[in-house]
Chain A
């Protein structure tokens, strides 16, 4: 059997990065939610918020661990699988990743220690501050990695000499043309994803008639957030799409399966793109729909796939369907959030069983949208690994196909095991619910952090 090392390297990287992105898209939002709960607890003194904070922190810990260990893999895979990429653009991309480690990873990892173990060792304000620092750390991390990724989509601020990119203007590199859009779109996606998980857990408790008050808090906070962020995401996505049309028109053509650029584009609700014939089969379309969305004119024109040779086109079917999945989830989220807000306004939210039943099953939809969105943007960039600069086929490592295939199998097995257990444990934590000792039972905080730590230290060495 003749295996293609480029395809295998791509499959392996796609698998490990798709697995990884699940966790940041949850932990970025969840850390912000935990910090918010902490802030409300500090202001109101309502112990229920503290209970909720501790509850979600346990789930955060399990998710964050999976995110960290799968993230380390990626920082090495750039070399194991993409060594020629590392040589060609390491000068530019390397420092961005370096800044991510220095400004975000240490911050998150260290203050997570305080959040998980420091409850009776630090004063409440420092405990909540640690949660906030973790949340800020995750957002800073997103900033740098999205800057690096955006540079691969819309490279700027560099000079190319002998096939190697050299930095010329760091601000232009970091704030490259697609970065603000991608950053806003992804960060918002992470918060939305989390909101729908929290919404589902709250709905699950209300249906089961357990942790009613906690469930209501979760529902209100999640719907309040989603009712703003879900419509905002449509706007951000639209702006991001217009930016992509400007810089990566062929990606947009693939998203819309738009072949002939001399005619206005239809919006295909469904179609089967035939990549060989260069046309769509079984298309159900809104005439001129894509033109209206992308050019804001019914008869507006935008480049089609046939404007470039087939060797320069991305895998149209994959990009086309992934985009539709993301869009469908996004529209469903808007509908669900606005309906929830409406029910809340009518004061029937907590009694509308059918709504709660549906939402309790929808914890996973944000993850699907995130993964689909990343497939659109990464596959849509093909055949380039760095748009216009370096082709994916020229970026691989001198590693035989057998090694890549063997380790791909290992990754699949290991990640499936880890993921199954992770889901199982998170589900069990949710089943247990926000229970545990109250602040009073744990022991009052001392106003003075030094003496609090001192007491904790004394207790720890058994001199109490």
Chain B
């Protein structure tokens, strides 16, 4: 139990992170693509596609943070001070992104709120990527507490990860818009999706090459034998998925490109897990070292096993309820 409880919890936190990245990813992607819309009516249409969902989507971020505190308090207590500035920038960016949804509905002049929405979405995506990149590069820890400086996270690699995540979320947003809109917005989204797919592939390649070159522990994980025999399919499947995504965008399919983009994100996450497990705070703290007391993890696990299926059930219900395309000029609430 002492061994597998933290592993189960690492998997659950991983699921929360994946759910957040995919679901809020397309919300944020729409914000990133906002400047390319022709006018505010088109932006209304874009925003309307996520109107009923964004709030629930963002809740996965609270589950990620709250879950990390509950299940791995010692990791939470190192990661948050280590990334103090990017975390707070991300939170403030999400403040502007979030209120822009509702303010824009009731405001007469929408332009400034569109700007706030774009900056908030882009900055939040960038900060999340930076945090991820800096976490992969490792966090200085002494006596269980963060021992680095305020700006340790500023590295070229972290910046690359930040930019990559902007591209990735924009791709999710573009393929989501292809499904949920029609007319000029959908057409433009399809064009964007092609460009962004190439950009995302370049980013994924750059990150995948950079990490083993600078982090010996990750190089060893991938290229030592027998690991390599099991791991070589990961990049191959990624390339295949990307190829299919391209084909599906080219042939005007609607849902498959979005699913392929999700698959790319999942593969990226898989790569991350392979590179870093069992470290929750690389390169020093493992899931076992940072785990909450077993009594806490069990108590939370019971609630999660009971409530998570219900949550997924009603989330599925509202995606079903608000299925179909959003036309230009369709009213908000």
B80 to chain A, nearest CB (A): 3
Does B323 lie at the interface of the complex (its beta carbon under 8 Å from any beta carbon of A)?
yes
A167 near B296: Cβ-Cβ < 8 Å = yes
CB neighbours (8 Å) of B99 from chain A are 65-66, 69, 418, 421-422
CB neighbours (8 Å) of A73 from chain B are 91-92, 95
A80 near B94: Cβ-Cβ < 8 Å = no
CB neighbours (8 Å) of B67 from chain A are 98, 101
Does A339 lie at the interface of the complex (its beta carbon under 8 Å from any beta carbon of B)?
no
Q: Interface majority SS on B: helix, strand, loop or mixed? A: helix
Does B240 lie at the interface of the complex (its beta carbon under 8 Å from any beta carbon of A)?
no
A107 to chain B, nearest CB (A): 8
Asked, given contacts A65-B101, A402-B150, whether A114 binds B73 with beta carbons under 8 Å apart, the answer is: no
Whole-angstrom CA separation of A462 from B87 in the bound complex: 43
What are the interface flags for A367-407 relative to B under an 8 Å C-beta threshold, 1 for contact and 0 otherwise?
Answer: 00000000000000000000000000000011110110001
Does B255 lie at the interface of the complex (its beta carbon under 8 Å from any beta carbon of A)?
no
Q: Which of A110, A114, A462 contacts B327 (CB 8 A)?
A: A462
A398 near B145: Cβ-Cβ < 8 Å = yes
What are the interface flags for B69-108 relative to A under an 8 Å C-beta threshold, 1 for contact and 0 otherwise?
Answer: 1110110111111001101100110111111011101110
Asked, given contacts A80-B87, A86-B77, A97-B69, whether A113 binds B52 with beta carbons under 8 Å apart, the answer is: yes
Q: Which of B59, B70, B84, B307 contacts A403 (CB 8 A)?
A: B84
Q: Which of A91, A114, A461 contacts B293 (CB 8 A)?
A: A91
CB neighbours (8 Å) of B150 from chain A are 399-400, 402-403
Among residues 266 to 309 in chain B, which have CB atoms less than 8 Å away from a CB atom of chain A? 292-293, 295-296, 299-300, 303-304, 307-308
Asked, given contacts A83-B81, A117-B52, whether A110 binds B87 with beta carbons under 8 Å apart, the answer is: no
Asked, given contacts A79-B65, A79-B69, whether A91 binds B94 with beta carbons under 8 Å apart, the answer is: no
What are the interface flags for B212-253 relative to A under an 8 Å C-beta threshold, 1 for contact and 0 otherwise?
Answer: 000000000000000000000000000000000000000000
CB neighbours (8 Å) of B154 from chain A are none
A94 near B327: Cβ-Cβ < 8 Å = no
Q: In the complex, how many residues of chain B place their beta carbon closer than 8 angstroms to a beta carbon of chain A? A: 73
Q: Which of B52, B105, B182, B295 contacts A114 (CB 8 A)?
A: B52
B66 near A100: Cβ-Cβ < 8 Å = yes
A121 near B58: Cβ-Cβ < 8 Å = no
A109 near B63: Cβ-Cβ < 8 Å = no
Whole-angstrom CA separation of A62 from B315 in the bound complex: 22
CB neighbours (8 Å) of B332 from chain A are 117
Asked, given contacts A83-B146, A101-B63, A460-B325, whether A422 binds B88 with beta carbons under 8 Å apart, the answer is: no
Return the chain A residue nearest B320 by Cβ. A453
Asked, given contacts A79-B76, A79-B77, A414-B92, whether A94 binds B71 with beta carbons under 8 Å apart, the answer is: yes
Asked, given contacts A72-B58, A122-B321, whether A398 binds B69 with beta carbons under 8 Å apart, the answer is: no
CB neighbours (8 Å) of B55 from chain A are 64-65, 68, 109-110, 112-113
CB neighbours (8 Å) of B71 from chain A are 94, 98
B284 to chain A, nearest CB (A): 15
A72 near B61: Cβ-Cβ < 8 Å = yes
CB neighbours (8 Å) of A332 from chain B are none
A97 near B66: Cβ-Cβ < 8 Å = yes
Asked, given contacts A403-B85, A460-B324, A460-B330, whether A91 binds B296 with beta carbons under 8 Å apart, the answer is: yes
B300 near A397: Cβ-Cβ < 8 Å = no
Q: In the complex, how many residues of chain A place their beta carbon closer than 8 angstroms to a beta carbon of chain B? A: 77
Whole-angstrom CA separation of A113 from B50 in the bound complex: 10
B270 to chain A, nearest CB (A): 25
CB neighbours (8 Å) of A398 from chain B are 81, 145-147
Whole-angstrom CA separation of A111 from B314 in the bound complex: 9
CB neighbours (8 Å) of A185 from chain B are none
Does A364 lie at the interface of the complex (its beta carbon under 8 Å from any beta carbon of B)?
no
Does B62 lie at the interface of the complex (its beta carbon under 8 Å from any beta carbon of A)?
yes
CB neighbours (8 Å) of B145 from chain A are 83-84, 398
Asked, given contacts A72-B94, A397-B81, whether A94 binds B73 with beta carbons under 8 Å apart, the answer is: yes
Does A166 lie at the interface of the complex (its beta carbon under 8 Å from any beta carbon of B)?
yes
Q: Which of B56, B80, B324 contacts A457 (CB 8 A)?
A: B324
B332 to chain A, nearest CB (A): 8
Return the chain A residue nearest B74 by Cβ. A87
Does B193 lie at the interface of the complex (its beta carbon under 8 Å from any beta carbon of A)?
no
B81 near A75: Cβ-Cβ < 8 Å = no
Return the chain A residue nearest B73 by Cβ. A90
Whole-angstrom CA separation of A102 from B97 in the bound complex: 23
CB neighbours (8 Å) of A69 from chain B are 94-95, 97-99
CB neighbours (8 Å) of B322 from chain A are 113, 117-118, 121
Whole-angstrom CA separation of A61 from B323 in the bound complex: 22
Interface residues of B (CB under 8 A from A): 51-53, 55-56, 58-59, 61-63, 65-71, 73-74, 76-81, 84-85, 87-88, 91-92, 94-99, 101-103, 105-107, 144-147, 150, 182, 292-293, 295-296, 299-300, 303-304, 307-308, 311, 314-315, 318, 321-327, 330, 332-333
Q: List 8 A-B contacts (CB under 8 A).
A: A69-B99, A79-B68, A90-B77, A90-B296, A94-B73, A95-B292, A97-B69, A397-B146
Q: Which 4 A-B pairs have CB atoms at the shortest separation, nearest pair first?
A: A90-B73, A79-B80, A94-B70, A113-B52
